[in-house]
C-alpha cells in the first residue's frame, strides 16, 4: 500500500459512524487526522514550532476553524470568489475548540502551537464543529506536542422532553436547548449553551448526559494515541527559578497585600507601581539575565495573595462577601435620537447598549456552511481601549469581541418576538465604557433595558451574572460577580444568563483541567439567585415592561400578505411600480417570496397608504370604493386614470362629469388629480371608473345642482316648437 502508516479507527457516536483516518493526509504536520462523522469530513492538524517564541509571557496557541464552501457545494459570493476572513460562526467555532484544549497545555511552554480544522464536507445532521473538536483532540494526542488530553465534545439537545446527543438538523429545529459539552476522562472541560429558558435541573442533567458520552469517546481517542501516537517532546520551561520567586515574595508580599486591598481598580494600579519599581531596583542587579522573569514573579505573587485570601480567609479583594454583588445601577433613555438606549453599571464595569429598528431587508445575509442564510436579530459588542485605561488604535472587532457579542445575542434571542409579532430587523450594539470584569454579562443587562425602552415586546427580561472559582487539591470555593482581578487569578469564569423562569445562555472559561458535577451545580444555583436579584431590585424598577409605543425616530412597520403570483404586479417592470409607491409614500417596501410584504416609514399614515396601495394592486380595487387618481391619457371617448401605481382604469366620457360633456379636454387634462368611483368590470374584465358617481357620492352633487351652479337655466317661455321635416 502506498500509505504504509495509514490506520483506520471506527466507533459509533449517537447512532452514526465515526471514522478516523491517520497517516494518509498532511503527514508533515506534527499530528493529523481526517475525521468522518456521517458524511461530515474535517481534516485536523496540530503543529508546534521547534523553538520558543522570544519575549512573550504567555502560551502562544492559535486555533483556526476553516469553513470551505466547497464542503456544501457552493461558490463563495465574494468578488474574488474565494473564502475571505473567517465568518462569525467560524470564529465562534474556533473559540469553542480553543477553550477546552488550552488549559491542558503546559502553562510554562512558549513554543507556538497551531491547530487547524478544515471543513471539507458537511452533512447537516452531523455537526462540523463537534467533528472538528474531536479531530483536534486526536491530532494533538497523536503528535509530539506535550498535552494533558485527550478531550471529547458533543452537542446536547432537549427534544420532546428527552435528551439527544448530536441532534439532527430536524431535531435542532425543535430542541429547547443547544449545549456543547467538552470533557476529559473525568471532568467537564467546557460548556457553551443556548436555551429557551430551561431550568437549572434541566441544564445540569443535560450537561451530565453529554459528559457521559464524552467519556466513551475519550477512551476511543486514548486507544488511537496508544497505537499511533508519537512520543511527547521536552521543552524549555519558562517558569522563574523558585529561589528567585521566594526572594521576591519575602521582600514584597506585605506591600502587595496593601496595594491589592481596595475596591478601586485605579487605586490598585497606582499602589502597585511603586511596588514594581522597588522590586526591580533591588533584584535587577541580582538577576541581570532574568529581568523579564521578575515580572512573572510579581504576577505569581499577586495570584498567591488573592487566592490565599479567598481560600483561607473568605476575603475578596474589594471587601465584598463571597456571594455579594458589586453596587449596581440601571438607566434608560440616555441618548436622544436613537430608538432605544440602556446603561447598566456594576462596580467599575459599565455597558451602554443601543437598539436600532429597521426594515426586514436590513437583516444580515450569511454565507456559511450551514443552512442559515440570514439573521434578523444582531448583537454587536465593542471593547475600546479606553475602557481599561489604555491607548491603542482600533482595528475592528477581535475574536473576544465577536464571542461576547454572540453570547449576548444567544442570551436574548429566546425572548425576541417573532416576525409575525414584531416585523422588524433588530440590531443592538453594546459599548463597553468601563471594564473591571463581566462586561459580557453587563452588556446583556444593558441590552434588555435598551430593548424594552425601544418598545420591542420581548417575552421576558434577561440578566446575566458570572461565577468564579478557586481550587486547591480537593478544596474549592465559588463566588458570584467576579471582578477583573478574580478573573485573572481565579480558575473559572462561569457566565450564566437567563430570565427568572430559566437559562438562555451559558459560557464557561476555565484555567484548570475541568469541573466536577458539584462545582457545576453550585455555580448554576448561585447565578440563578444573583440574576433574580438583579432583575427584581435593579432593572425592573427602572423599566418594568416594554414600552407600548416606538420612538418617533423609529420606522413604523406594517405587514400584509398577497398572493405570490401577484408579486410581479406589485414590483412592476424593472421595479417601476414599487419604486413609485416608495417615492409617493416616502417608505421602504420588502417583499418575500411567499408573498409577505413589509412596509416601513417614519410616518404611520404613509405606511398605511402604502399597504393600501399594495393590497389594491394585488387584490384589485373594491367595487364601489372611491379613489383619488391621476389622469394619464385622454381619448375621444374618455380618459384613463391611474388610481394606484400600476392600476389603471377608464372613465367613459359619459361618466366624466355630472353634466353633459362634449369634449374630455373641457373637464380634465393629463396629470390632473381627480376622484373616481370603481364600477363593476365589463364583460371583457376591464376596470371601469366614474368621476360622475364619485362627485355625487363624495361632494353631494347632482346634475341639477351642478348645472344651476355653473350657469343659469335657459328661459323656455318663448321657444318655438320644433317643426317636423
- The string of DSSP codes covering 76-106 is --STTSS--SPPHHHHHHHHHHHHHHGGGS-
DSSP per-residue codes, 171-205: HHHH-SEEEEEEE-SSSEEEEEEEEEEE-HHHHHH
pLDDT at position 709: 40
pLDDT digits (tens, 9 = 90+) for 212-265: 999 999 999 999 999 999 999 999 888 889 999 999 999 999 999 999 999 888
The Cα 553–Cα 600 span in angstroms is 12
Cα–Cα distances in angstroms (integers) from residue 670 to residues 158, 640, 667, 678, in the given order: 66, 9, 11, 20
Q: Are residues 189 and 265 in the same domain?
A: no
Which of residues 285, 313, 341 is at a domain's end? Answer: 313
**Which of 430, 484, 510, 402 is CA-nearest to residue 184?**
510
CATH code at 565? Answer: 3.30.1370.10
**Which of 151, 93, 155 is CA-nearest to residue 118?**
93
pLDDT digits (tens, 9 = 90+) for 112-136: 999 999 999 999 999 999 999 999 9
pLDDT digits (tens, 9 = 90+) for 679-708: 998 878 889 999 999 888 887 777 654 433
pLDDT at position 414: 97
Contact 184, 218 (CB under 8 A): yes
Q: Work out the pLDDT band at 711, boundaries 50, 70, 90.
A: very low
Contact 142, 30 (CB under 8 A): no
pLDDT at position 3: 75
**Which of 176, 170, 173 is CA-nearest to residue 156?**
176
The Cα 194–Cα 155 span in angstroms is 11
Q: Work out the pLDDT band at 721, boundaries 50, 70, 90.
A: very low
pLDDT at 163 over 80: yes
pLDDT at position 1: 53
pLDDT at 147 over 50: yes
CA angle (396 as vertex; 391, 400 as ends), nearest 5: 85
pLDDT at position 366: 82
Q: Does 425 reside within a domain?
A: yes
Which of residues 196, 228, 260 is at a domain's end? Answer: 228
pLDDT at position 684: 81
Contact 706, 670 (CB under 8 A): no
Q: Does 74 reside within a domain?
A: yes
Q: Are residues 43 and 158 in the same domain?
A: yes
Q: Are residues 221 and 269 in the same domain?
A: no
Which of residues 583, 604, 619 is at a domain's end? Answer: 619
pLDDT at position 350: 97
pLDDT at position 703: 63
H or E segment to which residue 59 belongs: none
Q: Does 725 reside within a domain?
A: no
Q: Are residues 379 and 517 in the same domain?
A: yes
Q: 660: which residues sit within 8 A by CB, 6+ positions away?
A: none
pLDDT at 528 over 70: yes
pLDDT at position 682: 81
Q: Does 387 reside within a domain?
A: yes
The Cα 496–Cα 466 span in angstroms is 6
pLDDT at 716 over 80: no
pLDDT at 275 over 70: yes
Cα–Cα distances in angstroms (integers) from residue 459 to residues 178, 351, 419, in the given order: 20, 22, 13
**Which of 101, 27, 42, 90 is CA-nearest to residue 64?**
90
Q: Are residues 450 and 509 in the same domain?
A: yes
Q: Work out the pLDDT band at 496, boundaries 50, 70, 90.
A: very high
Q: Are residues 71 and 219 in the same domain?
A: yes
For cell 430593548, the residue is 451
Q: Are residues 608 and 529 in the same domain?
A: no
**Which of 251, 260, 244 is CA-nearest to residue 279?**
251
pLDDT at position 79: 81
The Cα 278–Cα 266 span in angstroms is 19
DSSP per-residue codes, 112-167: EEEEEEEEEE-BTTB-HHHHHHHHHHHHHHHSSS--S---EEEEEEEETTEEEES-
Sign of the dihedral through C-alpha 281, 287, 291, 296:
negative
The Cα 293–Cα 283 span in angstroms is 11
CATH code at 212? Answer: 3.30.230.70
φ, ψ at 628 (rounded to 5°):
-105, 115
Q: What is the mean pLDDT of residues 408-422?
A: 95
- For residues 83 and 504, the model is more confident at 504
End-to-end CA distance of the chain: 120
Q: Does 550 reside within a domain?
A: no
pLDDT at position 705: 46
To the nearest whole percent, how much of the chain has pLDDT over 70?
A: 97
> How many domains does the chain fold into?
5
Q: Does 720 reside within a domain?
A: no
**Which of 138, 140, 128, 208 is CA-nearest to residue 169?**
128
pLDDT digits (tens, 9 = 90+) for 605-617: 999 999 999 999 9
pLDDT at 108 over 80: yes
pLDDT at 719 over 60: no
Q: Are residues 493 and 601 in the same domain?
A: no
What average pLDDT does the structure give for the chain? 92
**Which of 378, 403, 375 is CA-nearest to residue 98?**
403
Q: Work out the pLDDT band at 371, boundaries 50, 70, 90.
A: confident
Q: What is the mean pLDDT of residues 588-606?
A: 91
Q: Are residues 222 and 371 in the same domain?
A: no
Q: Are residues 671 and 530 in the same domain?
A: no
Q: Does 602 reside within a domain?
A: yes
pLDDT at position 715: 33
Q: Does 671 reside within a domain?
A: yes
Find how far residue 57's CA is from the centre of its chain.
Answer: 33
Q: Are residues 167 and 129 in the same domain?
A: yes
pLDDT at 722 over 60: no
To the nearest whole percent, how much of the chain has pLDDT over 90?
A: 76
Q: Are residues 299 and 360 in the same domain?
A: no
For residue 456, the SS3 value is coil
Sign of the dihedral through C-alpha 138, 141, 143, 145:
positive
pLDDT at 710 over 80: no
Domain limits at 646? 626-710
Amino acid at each position: 500500500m502506498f500509505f504504509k502508516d495509514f490506520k483506520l479507527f471506527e466507533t459509533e457516536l449517537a447512532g452514526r459512524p465515526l471514522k478516523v483516518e491517520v497517516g494518509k493526509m498532511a503527514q508533515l504536520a506534527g499530528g493529523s487526522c481526517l475525521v468522518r462523522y456521517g458524511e461530515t469530513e474535517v481534516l485536523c492538524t496540530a503543529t508546534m514550532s521547534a523553538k520558543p517564541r522570544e519575549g512573550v509571557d504567555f502560551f502562544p496557541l492559535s486555533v483556526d476553524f476553516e469553513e470551505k464552501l466547497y464542503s456544501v457545494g457552493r461558490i463563495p459570493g465574494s468578488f474574488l470568489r474565494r473564502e475571505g476572513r473567517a465568518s462569525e460562526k467560524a470564529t465562534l467555532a474556533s473559540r469553542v475548540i480553543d477553550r477546552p484544549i488550552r488549559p491542558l497545555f503546559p502553562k510554562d511552554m512558549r513554543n507556538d502551537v497551531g491547530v487547524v480544522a478544515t471543513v471539507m464536507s458537511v452533512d447537516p445532521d452531523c455537526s462540523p464543529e463537534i467533528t472538528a473538536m474531536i479531530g483536534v483532540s486526536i491530532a494533538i494526542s497523536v503528535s509530539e506536542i506535550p498535552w494533558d488530553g485527550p478531550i471529547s465534545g458533543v452537542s446536547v439537545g432537549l427534544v420532546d422532553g428527552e435528551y439527544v446527543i448530536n441532534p439532527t438538523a430536524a431535531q435542532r429545529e425543535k430542541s429547547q436547548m443547544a449545549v456543547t459539552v467538552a470533557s476529559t476522562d473525568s471532568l467537564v472541560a467546557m460548556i457553551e449553551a443556548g436555551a429557551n429558558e430551561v431550568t437549572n435541573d434541566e441544564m445540569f442533567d443535560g450537561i451530565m448526559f453529554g459528559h457521559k458520552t464524552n467519556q466513551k469517546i475519550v477512551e476511543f481517542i486514548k486507544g488511537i494515541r496508544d497505537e499511533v501516537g508519537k512520543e511527547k517532546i521536552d521543552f524549555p520551561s519558562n517558569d522563574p527559578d523558585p529561589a528567585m520567586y521566594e526572594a521576591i515574595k519575602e521582600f514584597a508580599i506585605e506591600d502587595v497585600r496593601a496595594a491589592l486591598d481596595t475596591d478601586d481598580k485605579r487605586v490598585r494600579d497606582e499602589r502597585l507601581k511603586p511596588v514594581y519599581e522597588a522590586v526591580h531596583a533591588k533584584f535587577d542587579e541580582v538577576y541581570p539575565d532574568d529581568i523579564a522573569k521578575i515580572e512573572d514573579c510579581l504576577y505569581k505573587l499577586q495570584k498567591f495573595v488573592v487566592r490565599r485570601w479567598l481560600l483561607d480567609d473568605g476575603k475578596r479583594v474589594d471587601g465584598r462577601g463571597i456571594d455579594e454583588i458589586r453596587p449596581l445601577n440601571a438607566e434608560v433613555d440616555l441618548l436622544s435620537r436613537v430608538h432605544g438606549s440602556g446603561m447598566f453599571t456594576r462596580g467599575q464595569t459599565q455597558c451602554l447598549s443601543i437598539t436600532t429598528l429597521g426594515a426586514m431587508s436590513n437583516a444580515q445575509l450569511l454565507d456559511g456552511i450551514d443552512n442559515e442564510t440570514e439573521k434578523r436579530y444582531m448583537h454587536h459588542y465593542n471593547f475600546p481601549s479606553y475602557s481599561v485605561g489604555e491607548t491603542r488604535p482600533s482595528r475592528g472587532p477581535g475574536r473576544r469581541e465577536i464571542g461576547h457579542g454572540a453570547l449576548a445575542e444567544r442570551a436574548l434571542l429566546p425572548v425576541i418576538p417573532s416576525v409575525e409579532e414584531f416585523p422588524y430587523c433588530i440590531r443592538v450594539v453594546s459599548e463597553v465604557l468601563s471594564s473591571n470584569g463581566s462586561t459580557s454579562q453587563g452588556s446583556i443587562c444593558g441590552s434588555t433595558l435598551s430593548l424594552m425602552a425601544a418598545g420591542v415586546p420581548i417575552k421576558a427580561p434577561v440578566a446575566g451574572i458570572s461565577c468564579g472559582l478557586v481550587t486547591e487539591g480537593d478544596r474549592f470555593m465559588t463566588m458570584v460577580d467576579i471582578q477583573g482581578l478574580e478573573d485573572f487569578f481565579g480558575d473559572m469564569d462561569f457566565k450564566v444568563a437567563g430570565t427568572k423562569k430559566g437559562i438562555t445562555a451559558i459560557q464557561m472559561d476555565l484555567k484548570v483541567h475541568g469541573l466536577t458535577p458539584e462545582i457545576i451545580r453550585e455555580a448554576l444555583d448561585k447565578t440563578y439567585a444573583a440574576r433574580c436579584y438583579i432583575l427584581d431590585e435593579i432593572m425592573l424598577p427602572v423599566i418594568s415592561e416594554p414600552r407600548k409605543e416606538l420612538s418617533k425616530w423609529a420606522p413604523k412597520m406594517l405587514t400584509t400578505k398577497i398572493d405570490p403570483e401577484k408579486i410581479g404586479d406589485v414590483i412592476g417592470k424593472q421595479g417601476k411600480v414599487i419604486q413609485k409607491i416608495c417615492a409617493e409614500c416616502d417608505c421602504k417596501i420588502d417583499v418575500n417570496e411567499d408573498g409577505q410584504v413589509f412596509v416601513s416609514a417614519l410616518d404611520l399614515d404613509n405606511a398605511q397608504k402604502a399597504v393600501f396601495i399594495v393590497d389594491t394592486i394585488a387584490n384589485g380595487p373594491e367595487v364601489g370604493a372611491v379613489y383619488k387618481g391621476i389622469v394619464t391619457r385622454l381619448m375621444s371617448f374618455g380618459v384613463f386614470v391611474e388610481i394606484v401605481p400600476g392600476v389603471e382604469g377608464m372613465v367613459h366620457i359619459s361618466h366624466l362629469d355630472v353634466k353633459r360633456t362634449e369634449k374630455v379636454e373641457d373637464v380634465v387634462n393629463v396629470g390632473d388629480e381627480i376622484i373616481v368611483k370603481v364600477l363593476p368590470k365589463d364583460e371583457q374584465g376591464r376596470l371601469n371608473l366614474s368621476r360622475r358617481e364619485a362627485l355625487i357620492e363624495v361632494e353631494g352633487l347632482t346634475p341639477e345642482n351642478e348645472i344651476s351652479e355653473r350657469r343659469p337655466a335657459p328661459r323656455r317661455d318663448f321657444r318655438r316648437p320644433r317643426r317636423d321635416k
